[in-house]
């Protein structure tokens, strides 16, 4: 399905666009961070250490008021001291109010975002493209019915849907064992580098959230797929397939879908970004199945914005970079693949 000419266009666009390169770097970084989280994180992100809570990141320090009482000359005196709290090397980006390492949480948070982003997009794509292709190919009443259904779906706020589904199914959180930990290679590698061991042996796949984002976003795919199906069905090669005796299913699967991949692919990358944001909002509002999520951390850090700003800012920045990266990759794909003019230019 990816023709050599397409590959050439992709490479050409990549060479000429600095932004595309940046996008690829950011996305690759996110993928690698998510994949190798157990190796890259400094601490187990769920380890709490109340002694070391709210530590600032390196290069910053925090002042706090400490009140203590002292006996001075027989009377109780209350002394207010401003204490300076410094960063420590073992928590380079600081800790949150539970003493959990902000950096490590951001690293593991990438997993959540990536998984929900990718799986949610895949779900939305499969649903949306199926509906869209059928609607566009058959037109008429089928098209009307499906598209009205899509419109209704679009009008439905994601939050309400999330609440409803979580109410119905619970968080449907699946504990997926961490392959690296299961293989037992994490601890030795970490020990070799002098890093604390004991990383989480599983991570949470928030099932309901994935379904929610899939159900919310399928309409975009349906629209695009429908548009493509509408135009492709008029192509002569579709007529030719029909003349050969091909069934509708064959035509849709063998002729319409492969020729519709380009805009769907571009949409998919953009959707990943949107879904990462959506997941962040949902977990910010507490509707995620997992607490190891950027959105969740932001919600935790909301109350400390003036004092321990890093708790919310670090995951916030992570979201920003992830979304920018994915969007840039989407732009790259779109610019490279579109216009995909296959015809000859006359001289």
H helices present in the chain, as ranges:
4-16, 18-35, 37-40, 102-138, 140-155, 158-169, 179-183, 186-192, 207-232, 236-244, 248-251, 257-284, 294-301, 310-337
Binding status of residue 253 toward other proteins by CB under 8 A: no
Instruction: For residue 173, give the DSSP letter.
Output: E
- For other proteins (CB under 8 A), the number of binding residues is 26
* Contact call for residue 1 and other proteins (CB under 8 A): yes
C-alpha distances in Å from residue 301, one per residue of 90, 97, 346:
20, 8, 61
Which residue from 21, 171, 242, 334 is in contact with other proteins, where contact means CB under 8 A? 242
Task: State how far the Cα of 114 lies from the Cα of 30, in Å rounded to an integer.
Answer: 8
* Options 58, 246, 265, 285; binder of other proteins; rule CB under 8 A: 246
CB of 146: closest distance to other proteins in angstroms?
17
User: 83, 145, 164, 240: which one contacts other proteins (CB under 8 A)?
Assistant: 240
Residue 116 burial class via C-beta count within 10 angstroms: exposed 0-12, middle 13-18, buried 19 and up: buried
Cα(269)–Cα(237) distance, rounded to whole angstroms?
29
Which CB atom, from 76 or from 347, has the smaller least distance to other proteins? 347
Query: Closest approach of Cβ 10 to other proteins, in Å?
Result: 14
Q: Which of 142, 237, 286, 338 binds other proteins (CB under 8 A)?
A: 237
- Considering only 11, 139, 250, 302, the residue that binds other proteins (CB under 8 A) is 250
CB of 316 to other proteins, least distance (A): 42
Q: String of b and e for 41-75 (b: at least 16 CB within 10 Å)?
A: bbbbbeeeeeebbbbbbeeeebeeeeeeeeeeeee
- Minimal distance, residue 133 CB to other proteins, in Å: 15
Site stretch for other proteins (CB under 8 A), options 124-132, 179-187, 229-237, 314-322:
229-237
The dihedral formed by the CA atoms of 187, 191, 196 and 200, expressed in degrees to the nearest 10: -10
- 12-51 footprint of other proteins as x/- string (CB under 8 A): x---------------------------------------
**Stretch of 95-103, 155-163, 327-335, 337-345 lying at the interface with other proteins (CB under 8 A):** 337-345
Out of 81, 151, 235, 338, the only residue in the binding site for other proteins (CB under 8 A) is 235
Show the site string, 180-219: x = touches other proteins by CB under 8 A, - = not. ----------------------------------------
Contact call for residues 203 and 108 (beta carbons, < 8 A): yes
In order, the DSSP letters of 43-89 are: S-TT---GGGTTPPPTT-EEEEEEEEEEEETTEEEEEEEEEEEE--T
Told to check if 249 binds other proteins by CB under 8 A, we report no
Interface positions with other proteins (CB under 8 A)? 1, 3, 5, 12, 235-237, 239-247, 250, 254-255, 258-259, 342-344, 346-347
């Amino acid at each position: 399905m990816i023709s050599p000419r397409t590959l050439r266009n992709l490479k050409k666009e990549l060479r000429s666009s600095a932004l595309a390169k940046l996008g690829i770097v950011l996305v690759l970084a996110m993928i690698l961070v998510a994949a190798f989280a157990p190796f890259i994180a400094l601490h187990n992100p769920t380890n709490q250490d109340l002694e070391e809570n709210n530590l600032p990141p390196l290069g910053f320090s925090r002042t706090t008021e400490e009140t203590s009482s002292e006996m001075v000359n027989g009377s109780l005196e209350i002394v207010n001291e401003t204490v300076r709290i410094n960063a420590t090397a073992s928590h380079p980006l600081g800790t949150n109010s539970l003493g959990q390492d902000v950096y490590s949480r951001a690293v593991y948070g990438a997993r959540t975002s990536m998984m929900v982003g990718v799986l949610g997009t895949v779900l939305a794509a499969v649903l949306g493209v199926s509906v869209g292709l059928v609607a566009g190919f058959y037109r008429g009443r089928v098209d009307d019915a499906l598209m009205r259904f899509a419109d209704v779906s679009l009008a439905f706020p994601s939050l309400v849907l999330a609440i409803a589904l979580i109410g119905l199914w619970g968080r449907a959180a699946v504990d997926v064992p961490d392959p690296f930990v299961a293989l037992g290679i994490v601890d030795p590698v970490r020990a070799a580098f002098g890093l604390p061991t004991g990383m989480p042996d599983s991570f949470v796949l928030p099932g309901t959230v994935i379904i929610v984002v899939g159900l919310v976003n399928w309409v975009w795919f349906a629209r695009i797929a429908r548009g493509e199906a509408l135009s492709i069905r008029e192509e002569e090669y579709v007529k030719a397939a029909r003349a050969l005796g091909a069934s509708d299913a064959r035509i849709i699967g063998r002729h319409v879908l492969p020729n519709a991949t380009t805009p769907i692919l571009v949409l998919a990358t953009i959707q990943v970004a949107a879904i990462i944001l959506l997941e962040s909002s949902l977990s910010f509002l507490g509707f995620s199945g997992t607490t190891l999520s950027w959105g969740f951390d932001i919600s935790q850090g909301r109350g400390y914005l003036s004092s321990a700003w890093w708790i919310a800012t670090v995951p916030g920045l992570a979201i920003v970079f992830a979304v920018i990266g994915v969007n840039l990759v989407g732009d790259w794909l779109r610019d490279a693949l579109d216009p995909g003019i296959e015809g000859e230019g006359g001289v």
